[in-house]
Amino acid sequence: MALRLIECLSTTEQLADLFSDESILKAMLQFEVALARVEGKLGVIPRSAATAIATAARTATLDPAAIASEAPLSGTFAIPLLRAFQENIRAQDPEAVDFVHWGATSQDLCDTALVLLLQKAQAILDADLNRLEKALQNLAQQHRRTVMLGRTWLQTAPPITFGLKAAGWLGAVHRSRKRLAAAFEEALILQFGGAVGTLAALGKDGLKVAEALADELKLPCPEAPWHTHRDRLAVLMCACGVLTGILGKIARDIVLLAQNEVAEVSEASGGDRGGSSTMPHKHNPVGSVLTLAAAQRVPGLVSSFLSSMVQEHERAAGGWQAEWEIVADVIQNTGFALASMADVAEGLRVDVERMKSNIAANQGLVFAERVSILLGKEIGRDFAHELLQEASTEAAIAKRNLSEVLAEMPEIVVHLRAADLRNLENPEHYLGSAEEFRRRLLAAASAQEKPQAKSKQQRSTRKPARRKK
């Protein structure tokens, strides 16, 4: 499916296709066929009607535009869809028409269809999560000894390694991946409750039909219908929001490091990627920028979903109707950010020499903390801190190296020799536990099997516990 201009910077082709009209209608017909099939097997409707419904679904001609134009009249596109589907069945078996959607309500159809779409979305997101984790793992390992300036409040600070920075990104992504997998597992369940969530229209067969329908669709069967209890979907939306925020943090770091004045990393180039319409010299960090755009959109969407959770009694008036577009937008923006950042991480160029030269250009000022700590043992921490503030100011104003200024201060040289001071500016000698932290982050991301999207065959049906007699 070709992307529309309005959505080309907020979704991927895969996700746009997943939430296309054709895909949505296919998921809705999947529900109707599965319902008819299990009801036919259980004798709730005639087997012949179930067969006719399944046959019609394979050849049904449905007009998405016509369905969409009629939807505002009923507040849901389930009703015009069912009407159109019934007309397709009528042409083949008029007697089967009355048994379509037997015992279900429009929300059962829409919610379960949404779940079926989300099930496919999980696999798409997981594939890009795999790519991103692998790329970050490679960066963290490859640059375990690459020293660079640390930065706090956007100001230069003592050195770290780029390997540690990449491992920090990896750790956050992996933690979010586990949360997302758990949220998907909880949310991907059947919705089937009839008019008010009691399945009263099916009499004594209600629970049997629900459990059989869950088995047919390879979805867990919840303890009860959840028409106005949207907590599972809300947790999934929040998990997407957290993941997108993490991706935005990584993108922000890369954008800042890619500034010409810093120039420590750059995104891969090729063709027109990252080019400017007017400035031929520019190479924009386009993947990171697109990730940041998605990270700015998603929190508002998540907030909108949370607002829609306040739903009335057994069926909502407005809250449920607000959700479909929100859920689709959250998933697509999350997937777009994820695919963009996976591309960035796989092609990220790291300028090791520039990182070293940026440390050197800092005139040793980032090592003031190290000198202050060592000197504090001799003359007291507060006095040492005061002396280093004075020396740092002088070095910055005079554009001299910090060690040179310190070597001229009697209070300093009485305790530290000039040769010792110069050695203190070696970044490799002031990395603390950076390497240990890097290893621990990588180990945590590799300690257990990465959560994978479950296939339909792997999903077990959760049935309500029965009381012992």
What is the per-residue pLDDT across 99-146, written as a single tens digit (0 to 9) for each? Answer: 999 999 999 999 999 999 999 999 999 999 999 999 999 999 999 999
Q: Look at residue 263 and tell me whether its pLDDT is greater than 80.
A: yes
Report the pLDDT value the prediction gives residue 448, as an integer from 0 to 100. Answer: 62
With respect to residue 231, please indicate whether it lies within any of the assigned structural domains. no
The mean pLDDT value for 7-32 works out to 93
Q: Look at residue 306 and tell me whether its pLDDT is greater than 70.
A: yes
Name the pLDDT band for 22 (thresholds 50, 70, 90). very high
With respect to residue 19, please indicate whether it lies within any of the assigned structural domains. yes
Number of domains in the chain: 2
pLDDT digits (tens, 9 = 90+) for 284-304: 899 999 999 999 999 999 999
The domain spanning residue 194 has which CATH number? 1.10.275.10
Q: Look at residue 337 and tell me whether its pLDDT is greater than 70.
A: yes
Q: In this structure, are residues 342 and 135 in contact, taking their beta carbons and an 8 Å threshold?
A: yes
The mean pLDDT value for 406-423 works out to 83
With respect to residue 359, please indicate whether it lies within any of the assigned structural domains. no
Catalytic annotation, pick one of 315, 370, 439, 462: 315
Catalytic annotation, pick one of 20, 74, 276, 455: 276
With respect to residue 314, please indicate whether it lies within any of the assigned structural domains. no
Q: Look at residue 464 and tell me whether its pLDDT is greater than 90.
A: no
Q: On the CB side of 175, how many CA atoms lie within 13 Å of its CA?
A: 13
With respect to residue 202, please indicate whether it lies within any of the assigned structural domains. yes
Which one is predicted more confidently, 465 or 94?
94
With respect to residue 79, please indicate whether it lies within any of the assigned structural domains. yes
Q: On the CB side of 195, how many CA atoms lie within 13 Å of its CA?
A: 5
* 276 included as an active-site residue: yes
pLDDT digits (tens, 9 = 90+) for 427-458: 999 999 999 999 999 999 997 654 455 544 44
The mean pLDDT value for 31-51 works out to 97
What is the residue range of 78's domain? 9-104+190-218
* 315 included as an active-site residue: yes
Q: What percent of the chain has pLDDT over 90?
A: 81
Report the pLDDT value the prediction gives residue 378, as an integer from 0 to 100. Answer: 84
Q: In this structure, are residues 112 and 217 in contact, taking their beta carbons and an 8 Å threshold?
A: yes
With respect to residue 317, please indicate whether it lies within any of the assigned structural domains. no
CA distance readout (Å), 4 to 7, 20, 64, 82, 274? 5, 11, 16, 28, 21
Nearest to 14 by CA among 131, 120, 134: 120
Average pLDDT, the chain: 91
Report the pLDDT value the prediction gives residue 9, as an integer from 0 to 100. Answer: 82
Name the pLDDT band for 271 (thresholds 50, 70, 90). low
Q: Look at residue 280 and tell me whether its pLDDT is greater than 70.
A: no
pLDDT digits (tens, 9 = 90+) for 358-384: 999 999 999 999 989 888 888 898 999
Kindly report the three-state secondary structure assignment for every residue of the chain: CCCCHHHCCCCCHHHHHHCCHHHHHHHHHHHHHHHHHHHHHCCCCCHHHHHHHHHHHHHCCCCHHHHHHHHHHHCCCHHHHHHHHHHHHHCCCHHHHHHCCCCCCHHHHHHHHHHHHHHHHHHHHHHHHHHHHHHHHHHHHHCCCCEEEEEECCEEEEEEEHHHHHHHHHHHHHHHHHHHHHHHHHHCCCCCCCCCCCCHHHHHHHHHHHHHHHHHHCCCCCCCCCCCCCHHHHHHHHHHHHHHHHHHHHHHHHHHHCCCCCCCEECCCCCCCCCCCCCCCCCCCHHHHHHHHHHHHHHHHHHHHHHCCCCCCCCCCCCHHHHHHHHHHHHHHHHHHHHHHHHHHHHCEECHHHHHHHHHCCCCHHHHHHHHHHHHHHHCHHHHHHHHHHHHHHHHHHCCCHHHHHHCCHHHHCCCCHHHHHHCCCHHHCCCCHHHHHHHHHHHHHCCCCCCCCCCCCCCCCCCCCCCC
With respect to residue 155, please indicate whether it lies within any of the assigned structural domains. no
Report the pLDDT value the prediction gives residue 245, as an integer from 0 to 100. Answer: 98
The mean pLDDT value for 407-425 works out to 83
Which residue has 């027109």 as its token pair?
Answer: 272
